[in-house]
Amino acid sequence: MKALGLTGGIGMGKSAASDLIAQRGIPVIDTDLLARQLVEPGQPALAEIAGIFGKHLLDESGLLRRGELARLVFANPSARQKLESILHPKIRQLWRSQVNDWNQQGKALAIVVIPLLFETNAEKELDATICIACSAATQRQRLLTRGWSAEQIEQRLAAQLPIEQKISRSNFVLWNEASLEVLSAQLDLVLGRV
């Protein structure tokens, strides 16, 4: 089985690309979703986060106040590193296990969506990498439509490698400035070559 990593900058279309891949019957695992599962009530990672960053990050029902945690860690690189040291090993263990299961099932191809693929050196464990990218202007516009402030956008961008580095380190690049049909056609070309 070939396991491919899909990465790209925030707001550049990783979710759209992973949806298109899943529509083709190719198994996809998204590490952002794994991260959300790891901080559900009752999960050890949530208790660890509350222990380090404070119980005020949990609401009355024990749910993580994700917005407050994001404000804290994206404004403080040291805090972000602490959070990543809790979550990243657990996330890697989960996606590795899923890829192994798919391999055991005889799947020919699987995709692992990892926003911080190169930042976490995950490319060493994958057969190839695909980067989805767009212009900085398009990216900022997409992030503004999410309701993020200019400061929030800058903090998130500072937490990732510049897209130019991700592009240069990837085996394939999907340029996502046009319609989903154009993105889909690019995906077909890439998937036909792996």
Q: Would you say 18 and 30 are in contact if contact means Cβ atoms under 8 Å apart?
A: yes
Sheet holding 128-133, edge to edge: 28-30, 109-113, 2-8, 128-133, 172-175
* Cβ pair 72, 53 in contact under 8 A: yes
**How confident is residue 120, by pLDDT bands cut at 50, 70 and 90?**
very high
Strand-pair partners of 193:
none
Number of domain units in the chain: 1
pLDDT on residue 132? 98
Residue with tokens 């403080």: 76
**Domain of 155?**
2-191
Backbone angles phi, psi at 129, to 5 degrees: -130, 145
pLDDT tens by residue, 39-84 = 999 999 999 999 999 999 999 999 999 999 999 999 999 999 999 9
Whole-number Å distance between alpha carbons of 98 and 102: 6
Q: What is the pLDDT of residues 84-112, one digit of tens each?
A: 999 999 999 999 999 999 999 999 999 99
Cα separation, 69 vs 85, whole angstroms = 15
CATH number at residue 121: 3.40.50.300
Contact 7, 14 (CB under 8 A): yes
* Single-letter code of the amino acid located at 52: I
pLDDT tens digits along 128-143:
999 999 999 999 999 9
Closest CA to 52 of 75, 79, 90: 79
